[in-house]
Amino acid sequence: MELFALSGQKALVTGAGNPGGLARAMAQGLRDAGATVAILDVADSVFEVARADGFTPIKANLAQREDLRRGFAEALAALGTLDILVNSHGIQRRHKAEAFPLDEWDLVLEINLTSVFALCQLAAEVMIPRRRGKIINVASMLSFTGGVTVPAYSASKGGVGQLTKALSNEWAAHGINVNAIAPGYMATEMNTALMQDQTRNRQILERIPSGRWGTPDDLKGIAVFLASRASDYLCGVVIPVDGGFLAR
């Protein structure tokens, strides 16, 4: 089990201020494996979550590039260094494609894709000289499929998948593993409307061989794996955690 131990490792997890979200669960998984964890979110709830789970809270708005840099610097100062970065923040906007407002398109792309790249760059500045590090991006089922009424989200998550591969191509030689997790249909706040729609809920469950929605806890194991020595030869992959949805 030493392959999966994270004792002494310092991790930053973004988007973990949502008490019932995927990011918090992944941060808990890293903590339980021995890592010291800082969490970054724009919501005030980041402080509540940090108190409950023993994390270091950082409040920053990743839609604002200067605030992103400030938040990263604050996290780095608190942790002392950075071994693991988990980019698990993101937003969703729904409109028919022909009526999708460009200002909302810009916001989704800024938060879901551009800020991910910026944080990866900042992490690489720390990791490249040390010749080691783990970067875990959070992609989506829409990194593989197109979705409906979510063109900005789909484009951003497709971009996260390709960005993960591009960064891995450049940074693997520096000892940095860049990989991504693609969660399937997860029972979180973002999907409340889908779960309450009896027709869509039935259609979704019929497509999932496991026969259930995923839960935040389903991402703990893959996060620990990708953050640990167990994944040292895994580079540039997007791993679905979807109950078999894509294989159906």
Q: Per residue in 226-239, pLDDT tens?
A: 999 999 999 999 99
Helix/strand/coil (H, E, C) string of 181-205? EEECCECCHHHHHHHHCHHHHHHHH
Q: Domain range for residue 129?
A: 2-241
Please, are residues 60 and 68 in contact by the beta-carbon 8 Å criterion?
Answer: yes
- In a domain, residue 184? The reply is yes
Q: Among 55, 72, 153, 245, which one carries the catalytic annotation? A: 153
- Res. 97 pLDDT band, cuts 50 70 90: very high
Output the pTM of the full model: 0.97
- In a domain, residue 163? The reply is yes
Q: 214: helix, coil or strand? A: strand
Q: How many domains does the chain have?
A: 1
Please, are residues 167 and 115 in contact by the beta-carbon 8 Å criterion?
Answer: no
Greater pLDDT, 45 or 192: 45
With 90 as the cut, is the pLDDT of residue 192 above it? no
- In a domain, residue 246? The reply is no
In degrees, rounded to 5, the angle at the alpha carbon of residue 105 between the alpha carbons of residues 99 and 109 is 155
- In a domain, residue 123? The reply is yes
- In a domain, residue 156? The reply is yes
> Is 233 labeled as catalytic in the residue annotation?
no
| Token pair for 196 | 């309450």
For residue 141, the domain's CATH number is 3.40.50.720
With 90 as the cut, is the pLDDT of residue 182 above it? yes
Give per-residue pLDDT as tens, 14-42. 999 999 999 999 999 999 999 999 999 99
How high is the mean pLDDT of the chain?
97
- In a domain, residue 248? The reply is no
Q: Which pLDDT value is given to residue 1?
A: 80
- Res. 194 pLDDT band, cuts 50 70 90: confident
